[in-house]
Structure 1
Amino acid sequence: MDILTMDISGLSYKIVKEKVDEINVNELHDSQELINIIDILKADKRKNINSLGDKLQRAKEKIENEIKRVRSMYDFDKSFEGLNIIAGVDEVGRGPLAGPIVSCAVVLDLNVVDEELILWINDSKKLNEKKREELAEVIKEKALAYHIASRDSKEIDSRGIGVCNNEVFLEACNSLEVKPDLVLSDGYTVKGIKIPNKSVIKGDTKSACIAAASIVAKVYRDNLMKEYSKKYPYYAFEENVGYGTSKHIEGLKEYGPTEIHRMSFLNNILER
């Protein structure tokens, strides 16, 4: 690396910063080279160069803490003795006024080295949109299997949200190309499932597979609602993904419901 082989004392801050910005801390966080670079930067007589060393140190610690956090999620999924293939299942869209309820089941390879962990996985609501989009692609690429299931607003109206919620869980789990030994579900057990099943409270923060399922399901549904917003432009679906925000309610009162609205959820709203 350039900083290791050159005397930076005669280089401007701008040039040193450019060299530091080229360093991939994700790949080098546990390397002696990175430690040496940090030491060189901190030993410089200029405070702004020292600050670059501090910045690298913080980035190194952030990655190391993230690896520990995500490793604990993988270890949670591996903690069920004698059960090697674990699926996580989660849903999104139980509460909106419009759009489908969506579930995803994911099977991850839990026997990976630190470099192969899917970092930053978490409850999808704790991640920003850009990070969710990036992670969803990584998850789908690395997963041993995943499946997305949904029920639309008409099915929700005719059979109830609880029934549809359980159905999308069942369909997602039963349609996996890799049959799991155990399904971990977020919050409550899946009724009628023939695969061993354990519910995990706040599972999307504890289980790697549930967190992955949460992210893929949310990205899929959010993108679907963005497409609906083009067809139905008066409800701000691109912002609220079907939830009852003020813009959504205003659109309902002025233009009435669309074919993707859940009429069983609108009784009190339309009567106001």
Structure 2
Amino acid sequence: MLDCIAGVDEAGRGPVIGPMVLAIVGVAPKDVAGLRVAGVRDSKRLTRVRRASLMDRITERARFWDVFFFLPAAMDRASLTVLTVDVLVAWIDRYRPATVLVDALTAPAAIPALVGSIRRRLPDWTGRLRMWPAAERHPAVAAASVVAKVFRDEAVRWLRDRYGDFGWGYPSEARTRQFLEEWYRRYGRWPVWVRTKWQTCRRMEGAGDTR
């Protein structure tokens, strides 16, 4: 078993456009304080420039790190929690960290059952698994959130360079909604990089059917 603390977090759970990115960062216990001193914190509290500058520091200090992209088609077919747990189990089995810290994947009352189901899938792993809301306060989880967000932002920029500026893909963004409305009006279908089961798309499809 690897003597390290592995933090796990995602970026892009809520947007209607683009992938969700899950990241894991394994850090030696002696390096946790260094991440905090370097300014690593939850990605939502950092600017894009700051996240990019911290990326190299995080990956240089990490014992291991990894990312997984969930494409919209997969997220349309299955629960995000189920998809995330499948990758988490595979990572724990591959890297064998002594401790795994995960930002809550479900409601607090359901966490014990979810943790139990993960452990049953890893009978030979004897490490510690903790899952709780606000886990991103721990530097290892914060580091994972930064890595996930940097990769998610790169994916969004790649899409915008090829298909036009839709903002950052959140349903709350006027630019995103306008882009989707114009796309559906023009083509009558969604591209593969849009989450078609999101209510944003369903409402636009309904509006299109009435015209």
With the length of structure 2 as denominator, give the TM-score of the two structures: 0.77
Of the three residues 175, 192, 200, the one matched with 1:247 is: 175
Cα offset for 1:95? Answer: 1.0
Aligned mates of 1:197, 1:152 — CA distance in 2: 27
Asked if 2 retains the 8 angstrom alpha-carbon contact of 1:92 and 1:102, the reply is yes
> In structure 1, what is the equivalent of residue 108 of structure 2?
none
Aligned mates of 2:203, 2:94 — CA distance in 1: 37
Change (3 A) 1:263 1:143: same
Of the three residues 103, 116, 141, the one matched with 1:186 is: 103
Cα offset for 1:169? Answer: 3.0
Aligned mates of 1:113, 1:168 — CA distance in 2: 24
Aligned mates of 1:131, 1:124 — CA distance in 2: 9
**Does residue 91 of structure 1 match 2:10?**
yes
> In structure 2, what is the equivalent of residue 209 of structure 1?
140
Aligned mates of 1:181, 1:90 — CA distance in 2: 17
Asked if 2 retains the 8 angstrom alpha-carbon contact of 1:97 and 1:261, the reply is yes
CA deviation string 1:226-250 (max 9, x = no partner): 01111111523xxx1x212111111
Choose 1 or 2 for highest CA Rg. 1
> In structure 2, what is the equivalent of residue 18 of structure 1?
none
Tell me which amino acid in the other structure corresponds to 1:210: V
Aligned mates of 1:267, 1:106 — CA distance in 2: 36
> In structure 1, what is the equivalent of residue 150 of structure 2?
219
Asked if 1 retains the 8 angstrom alpha-carbon contact of 2:11 and 2:20, the reply is yes
Change (3 A) 1:163 1:116: closer
> In structure 2, what is the equivalent of residue 200 of structure 1?
132
> In structure 1, what is the equivalent of residue 195 of structure 2?
262
Kindly tell me the number of residue pairs found equivalent between the two proteins. Answer: 183
Asked if 2 retains the 8 angstrom alpha-carbon contact of 1:148 and 1:172, the reply is no
Aligned mates of 1:153, 1:137 — CA distance in 2: 28
Structure 1 range deviating more: 167-176 or 259-268: 167-176
SS of equivalent to 2:29: coil
Identity of aligned residues (%): 27
Task: List runs of 5+ in structure 1 lacking aligned partners.
Answer: 1-82
Aligned mates of 1:116, 1:105 — CA distance in 2: 15
CA deviation string 1:55-101 (max 9, x = no partner): xxxxxxxxxxxxxxxxxxxxxxxxxxxx9421111111111102111
Asked if 1 retains the 8 angstrom alpha-carbon contact of 2:8 and 2:23, the reply is yes
Structure 1 range deviating more: 103-112 or 220-229: 103-112
Cα offset for 1:270? Answer: 3.2
Aligned mates of 1:96, 1:123 — CA distance in 2: 18
SS of equivalent to 2:176: helix
Tell me which amino acid in the other structure corresponds to 2:174: S
Asked if 1 retains the 8 angstrom alpha-carbon contact of 2:36 and 2:139, the reply is no
Q: Which has the higher contact order (CA 8 A, sep 6+)?
A: 2
Tell me which amino acid in the other structure corresponds to 1:186: D
Tell me which amino acid in the other structure corresponds to 1:187: A
Mapping of residues 111-260 of structure 1, within 5 Å: 111-112=30-31, 118-176=37-95, 179-188=96-105, 191-193=117-119, 194=122, 195=125, 196-205=128-137, 207-236=138-167, 240=168, 242-244=169-171, 245-256=173-184, 257-260=190-193
Cα offset for 1:212? Answer: 0.6
Asked if 1 retains the 8 angstrom alpha-carbon contact of 2:31 and 2:61, the reply is no
Task: List runs of 5+ in structure 2 lacking aligned partners.
Answer: 106-110, 185-189
Mapping of residues 35-46 of structure 1, within 5 Å: none
With the length of structure 1 as denominator, give the TM-score of the two structures: 0.61
